[in-house]
Amino acid sequence: MIQLKSIREIELMAEGGKILAATVQMLRGEVRTGMSTQDLDAIAEKFIRGHAGATPAFKGLYGFPGTLCTSINQEIVHGIPSRKRVLKDGDIISIDVGVGYRGYFTDSATTVAVGEVDEETVRLLDTTERALAAGIAAAVPGNHLGDIGAAVQRVVEAAGFSVVRDLVGHGIGVAFHEEPQVPNYGKPKRGLKLVPGLTLAIEPMVNVGGPQTRTLADKWTIVTVDGSRSAHFEHTVAITQSGNRVLTAA
Ligand code: MG
Ligand code: MG
């Protein structure tokens, strides 16, 4: 069932989203060579809990142990923070984080270069961020879910990269994962019609190589089958009468 949100509910989500946006911006500035993903997780948890009423939404969600999902290089999503995973110059790290605030959830992700990265990696990050922007631009009333996916896919494939299909965006709000699913591929004018009050996590996951994924033995970390690098950017977006509102924008 799709739960449309009232203006009051969207306001509450925007308040939580503001805390989440600050968290993501702070974490982007903290990433450096030699730190572990556990270090980053501890910083994130402390920062979120420092805001009255805010909680790290991932902690305990489906049994996940961290505040962040930290996914390095060929890891697409759901990497578990660990003292043993230390960032090296030339790596990329995808940081996915959710916040609970006064009964509502927001979700955001970013990918950060650690030190100097190669040209192709720079292009991967830029393309994924532009794909998210294109998806958000298509998330307006009267359009359909397929318009969002098609917009994301067009940007990614024009750059010669591939969109992950095994994982999708989602509705969000009262529950962390709500209906509908929001694929990062599709055809214009297909699928659910977008209406004001719909709140969506739009989250392209983009691979340098093929779109195929597999899950590691830890049962969480999802990686590219071909070992190519992957990036992930995400915002929580509310469809409004006049267009949309990005609830997790910095
Ligand atoms: Mg997320
Ligand atoms: Mg999400």
Domains of the chain, earliest start first: 7-215+235-246 (3.90.230.10)
For residue 94, the CA-to-ligand 1 centroid distance in Å is 10
- Binned at pLDDT 50, 70 and 90, residue 31 comes out as very high
Percentage of the chain with pLDDT > 90?
Answer: 99
Residue 250: what pLDDT? 87
Q: Which pTM was predicted?
A: 0.98
For residue 8, the CA-to-ligand 1 centroid distance in Å is 23
User: CA–CA separation, 35 vs 83, rounded Å?
Assistant: 9
| pLDDT exceeds 90 at position 93 | yes
For residue 30, the CA-to-ligand 1 centroid distance in Å is 19
Proximal ligand: closest to the CA of 20: 1
For residue 201, the CA-to-ligand 1 centroid distance in Å is 7
3 state SS for 93-134:
EEEEEEEEECCEEEEEEEEEECCCCCHHHHHHHHHHHHHHHH
For residue 115, the CA-to-ligand 2 centroid distance in Å is 26
For residue 36, the CA-to-ligand 2 centroid distance in Å is 23
Proximal ligand: closest to the CA of 95: 1
For residue 203, the CA-to-ligand 1 centroid distance in Å is 7
Per-residue pLDDT, averaged over 70-84, amounts to: 98
- Binned at pLDDT 50, 70 and 90, residue 57 comes out as very high
| pLDDT exceeds 90 at position 190 | yes
Per-residue pLDDT, averaged over 107-117, amounts to: 98
Per-residue pLDDT, averaged over 82-86, amounts to: 98
Residue 23: what pLDDT? 98
| pLDDT exceeds 90 at position 1 | no
Per-residue model confidence as pLDDT tens digits over 120-136: 999 999 999 999 999 99
What is the chain's mean pLDDT, rounded?
Answer: 98
User: CA–CA separation, 155 vs 118, rounded Å?
Assistant: 20
Q: Which residues surround ligand 1, an ion (CB under 5 A)?
A: 96, 107, 109, 234
Per-residue pLDDT, averaged over 21-36, amounts to: 98
For residue 173, the CA-to-ligand 1 centroid distance in Å is 13
Alpha helices in the chain (DSSP H): 7-30, 37-49, 119-137, 145-158
Per-residue pLDDT, averaged over 217-228, amounts to: 98
For residue 98, the CA-to-ligand 1 centroid distance in Å is 6
Tokens of 36: 């572990």
- Binned at pLDDT 50, 70 and 90, residue 6 comes out as very high
